[in-house]
């Protein structure tokens, strides 16, 4: 007879005061998600009616489809990953938060699909770099890698892209729609901030090194993915370097929030010096700052990034 798969001991686990505080915040994420559910079909239809349809040039439609089809598949991956976390995490409150996220991500996926379908252009295949990034988090058996990869890295990338495009107001329906996405994604990041300390507190040296390598792989792959989106981004008036810089600043703020959630104790394994220096060097080589496009300048800036962590 196989072992029990239904955990009936979830209420038997003791909590320190600190763990109990984080658990209450995780439970709040679940209930906030329930209170702020929005009807995707209703919202999209209302916005299209409000603005008299989707008004965009054929060139901009193709660029938008190229960018947001990748984000659409990212939402599908996020749906699957949050369902994995809801099943795999031990904490009842963390499972509740992940379950709420799975509901949100399902809605994000189908609404983006419906929006892109209404553009009336053919959707491109998923870029190999983006696929590798998403499937790396989907397939890792490590819960710390899955939680940090999804909640802190992929969500930060997504919310940065959403806000950048929204603020440009390329297309009014999309701009207003993305407000709903940003609100949900900000809540999802809270799951990682509140639960990461619990998953990371007992890592040994080997697991620490593996997690560092995993984060570095994700960020470098995200940079390759961004590079492959450079042409459609620039067609929409988006500077890829600005997205990378904004994403970096958002991640640093997330790390600060993570430190605060851990009673002021830094979790150096999350976006630590090795990760930030590797990414910083690759960023200078891939998207040099204005006036620093020459090879010598790129190499110098990359070397400096390797020496000085963000």
DSSP 221-264: HHHHHHHHTHHHHHHTT--HHHHHHHHHHHHHHHHHHHHHHTTT
Q: What are the extents of the domains in the chain?
A: 17-205
Q: What is d(CA 259, CA 17) in angstroms, rounded to the nearest whole number? A: 17
pLDDT tens digit sequence for 113-125:
999 999 999 999 9
Please give the mean pLDDT across all residues of the chain: 89
Q: What is d(CA 20, CA 255) in angstroms, rounded to the nearest whole number? A: 21
Write down the CATH number for the domain with range 17-205. Answer: 1.10.620.20
pLDDT tens digit sequence for 252-286:
899 898 888 888 888 888 888 888 889 889 899 89
Establish how many alpha carbons lie within 13 A of residue 245's alpha carbon, considering only the half-sphere containing its beta carbon: 10
Q: What is d(CA 249, CA 267) in angstroms, rounded to the nearest whole number? A: 17
Decide if pLDDT at 310 tops 70: no
Output the pLDDT for position 177: 97
Q: What is d(CA 24, CA 197) in angstroms, rounded to the nearest whole number? A: 15
Distance of CA 269 to the CA centre of its chain: 18
Provide CB contacts within 8 A for 11, sequence distance 6+. Answer: 92
pLDDT tens digit sequence for 166-217:
999 989 999 999 999 999 999 999 999 999 988 988 889 999 999 999 999 9
What percentage of the chain carries pLDDT values higher than 90? Answer: 64
């Amino acid at each position: 007879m196989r072992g029990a798969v239904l955990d009936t001991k979830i209420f038997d686990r003791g909590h320190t005061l600190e763990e109990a505080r984080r658990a209450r915040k995780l439970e709040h994420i679940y209930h906030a998600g329930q209170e702020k559910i929005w009807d995707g079909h209703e919202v999209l239809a209302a916005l299209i009616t409000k603005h008299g349809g989707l008004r965009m040039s054929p060139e901009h439609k193709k660029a938008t489809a190229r960018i947001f089809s990748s984000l659409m598949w990212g939402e599908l991956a996020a749906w699957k990953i949050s369902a994995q976390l809801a099943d795999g995490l031990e904490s009842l409150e963390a499972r509740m938060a992940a379950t709420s996220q799975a509901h949100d991500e399902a809605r994000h996926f189908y609404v983006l699909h419906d929006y892109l379908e209404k553009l009336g252009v053919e959707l491109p295949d998923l870029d190999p770099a983006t696929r590798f990034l998403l499937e790396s988090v989907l397939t890792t058996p490590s819960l710390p890698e899955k939680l940090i990869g999804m909640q802190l890295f992929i969500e930060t990338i997504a919310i940065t892209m959403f806000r950048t495009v929204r603020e440009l107001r390329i297309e009014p329906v999309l701009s207003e729609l993305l407000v709903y996405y940003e609100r949900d994604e900000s809540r999802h990041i809270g799951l990682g901030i509140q639960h990461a300390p619990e998953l990371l507190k007992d890592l040994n040296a080997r697991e620490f090194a593996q997690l560092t390598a995993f984060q570095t792989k994700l960020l470098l792959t995200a940079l390759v993915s961004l590079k492959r989106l450079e042409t459609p981004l620039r067609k929409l008036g988006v500077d890829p370097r600005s997205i990378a810089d904004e994403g970096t600043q958002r991640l640093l703020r997330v790390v600060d929030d993570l430190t605060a959630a851990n009673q002021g104790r830094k979790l150096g394994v999350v976006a630590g010096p090795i990760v930030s220096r590797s990414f910083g060097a690759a960023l200078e080589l891939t998207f040099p700052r204005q006036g620093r496009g020459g090879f010598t300048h790129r190499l110098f800036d990359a070397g400096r990034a390797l020496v000085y962590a963000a």
